[in-house]
Amino acid sequence: MIDTVLFDFDGTIMDTNEVIIQSWQETFRTLKGREEDRDVLLKTFGEPLEYTMRNFFPDVPLEKGLEIYRGYQRDNFLSDIHLFPGVRELLDELTQRQIKMGLVTSRLRHTTQQALDKFDMNRYFGYVVTADDVTRHKPDPQSINIILEKIGSRPEQSIMVGDTIFDILCARNAGCTSVLVSWSMSLAEKLQNGFAPEETPDRIIDDPRQILQML
């Protein structure tokens, strides 16, 4: 019986897609004098920022690239994000049913907390694990293991909801049920053409409230 639902943040409950893309475009404009193809950027969604930055700009000091990227987000983050439709209604219903919830994200704690404050989400997420809290990022299960221990939940009774391959594999590696949201931008091609067996989620949902059918 499922008693715990864990959520990814970016692209799952919060639409941060455009601010992430534009943060990368600002970094490319500044360091390379051009913009990058959006599909190339979308394929990096879910990766740790430092990892992607090193791949895109191997000859640029990491801190220089990070400052450009994060500088754009500092100026635009809160004005360019919003909740996906149906998310708040789902969280309200899960709260009423006394389902335990947690947030597992590769985003830094500072901006994660900014968004939670702006959209009055702290009442849903008493347990949050961010990139600042782990030494091994998704798809390693460390983040899920940490939050399940804090919540006092078992992986076989938990769902992990996300929008990237990293979320699917993180859930599998932790022993949780993996749920992929169909509004994922990074996996649009796989959603249309199919997943490799080792990447296939346990469930794909088109509406956040479909989670309730799994409880």
Catalytic residues: 8
Q: Quick one: the chain helix, strand, coil %, rounded to 5?
A: 50, 15, 35
Query: What letter would DSSP give residue 20?
Result: H
Backbone φ and ψ of 128, nearest 5°: -135, 130
List alpha helices for the chain, DSSP H: 17-32, 38-42, 49-56, 62-76, 87-96, 109-118, 142-151, 165-174, 188-193
Classify residue 149 by burial, with Cβ atoms within 10 Å: 0-12, 13-18, 19+.
Answer: exposed
Structure tokens at 127: 């347990």
β-pair partners for 102? 6
Buried-state track 189-202, b at ≥16 Cβ within 10 A, e below 16: ebeeeeeeeeeebe
* Strand partners of residue 177: 159
